Amino acid sequence: MVKIKVVVCIKQVPGTTDIKIDPKTNTLVREGVENIINPFDSYALEEGVSLKERMEQVSGTIALTMGPPQAAQILKDAISVGIDSSILLSDPEFAGADTWATAKTISAAVKKIGGAGLLIFGKQTLDGDTGQVGPETAQRLNIPFIGYVSQIIEMDKKKIRVKRLMEHGYETIETNLPAAISVIKDINQPRVPSLRGKMKASKAEIPVWDSSFLGLGPKEVGLSGSFTQVVKVFTPKASHEVMMLEGSTEQQVEKLYEKLKGLKAGV
């Protein structure tokens, strides 16, 4: 029987709403801030573990993250809930990566482990909030991508059929494997780590892969390999203008009409 390897891509994010930005680099200040696993990624992890439990064709699960050395903690957390193994992509050269450079790094790691039958992402992260890394990784690997998955209905060695959330309902879609999906919180209920899982995680050795190990040059990763860059971060100033319209209803409507017409004309 052909076995399917499942890779779950997760991210460490600040566990606070008090986000601070480095004024020089315009990047998040992560030092001294409690970090947690991105909440949406918890559902991706649960689905990866659940797939292995209920489908004999799944050979194993791997959690993958790109981040600083302290991100190894969320990889141990992944093992504690049932993920088989984890890999940390960490290198100072990865700093400042946009979604495209991040996707390039992750896709290189997936190729390094020999590919995956299914990649699972959370629908978005709390810090970046773009939802772009999943589809961009799929594009770099030249595999199909399905977003907003609320249920994996069926999966075998050749295809996967899922239910996905749409703007006005749901749709069922089927695609060939290998593929990548992003999941929403409706898909499952993340489990609590067991004592045995915590013990396994505490003993786990998390391998660290840098850019040279992945075969990527310094201009392909991090800020140098990014097509987009945060130029400035600021809080927009709130302003409003109040106008009181007097007179009869007909007069007020006429005045409002003239005002709106003037705004449209740029007056």
Inside any domain, residue 258? no
Average pLDDT of the chain, as a whole number = 89
Is 217's pLDDT higher than 80?
yes
CA distance 256 to 245: 8
Strand ranges inside 76-117, DSSP E: 85-89
In this predicted model, what pLDDT tens digit does every residue of 138-180 receive, in sequence order? 999 999 999 999 999 999 889 999 999 998 899 999 999 999 9
Check residue 186 and give its pLDDT. 94
- Contact between 120 and 183 under an 8 Å Cβ cutoff? The reply is yes
- Contact between 77 and 37 under an 8 Å Cβ cutoff? The reply is yes
In this predicted model, what pLDDT tens digit does every residue of 22-60 receive, in sequence order? 666 666 665 666 788 999 999 999 999 999 999 888 889
Inside any domain, residue 235? no
How much is the average pLDDT of 67-73?
93
Inside any domain, residue 225? no
- The burial class, CB within 10 Å (0-12 / 13-18 / 19+), for 171 is exposed
Q: Do you know the residue count of the chain? A: 267
Inside any domain, residue 260? no
Count the neighbouring beta carbons within 10 Å of the beta carbon of residue 127.
14
CA distance 180 to 117: 8
- The model's pTM is 0.83
Overall number of domains in the chain: 1
- Contact between 199 and 140 under an 8 Å Cβ cutoff? The reply is no
- The burial class, CB within 10 Å (0-12 / 13-18 / 19+), for 36 is middle
Which residue has better confidence, 255 or 177? 177
Inside any domain, residue 59? yes
Distance (Å) of CA 99 to CA 107, 155, 170, 200, 208: 12, 28, 27, 32, 21
Considering only CA atoms, which of 4, 227, 199, 257 is closest in space to residue 119?
Answer: 4
Strand ranges inside the chain, DSSP E: 4-9, 12-14, 35-37, 58-66, 85-89, 118-122, 145-155, 159-166, 169-176, 179-183, 208-209
Check residue 20 and give its pLDDT. 63
CA angle 125, 28, 133 (to 5 degrees): 30
Inside any domain, residue 16? yes
Tell the residue number behind the tokens 């629908």, with chain if given. Answer: 123
- Confidence label for 17 from pLDDT (cuts 50, 70 and 90): low
Q: What is the domain extent for residue 96?
A: 4-214
Is 130's pLDDT higher than 60?
yes
Phi-psi region of 45 (alpha: psi -120 to 50; beta: other; left: phi over 0): alpha
- Confidence label for 234 from pLDDT (cuts 50, 70 and 90): low
Inside any domain, residue 231? no
Is 205's pLDDT higher than 60?
yes
List the CATH number of the domain containing 72. 3.40.50.620
Question: Which amino acid makes up residue 66?
Answer: M
Inside any domain, residue 228? no
Check residue 3 and give its pLDDT. 79
Tokens of 124: 């978005």
Is 267's pLDDT higher than 60?
no
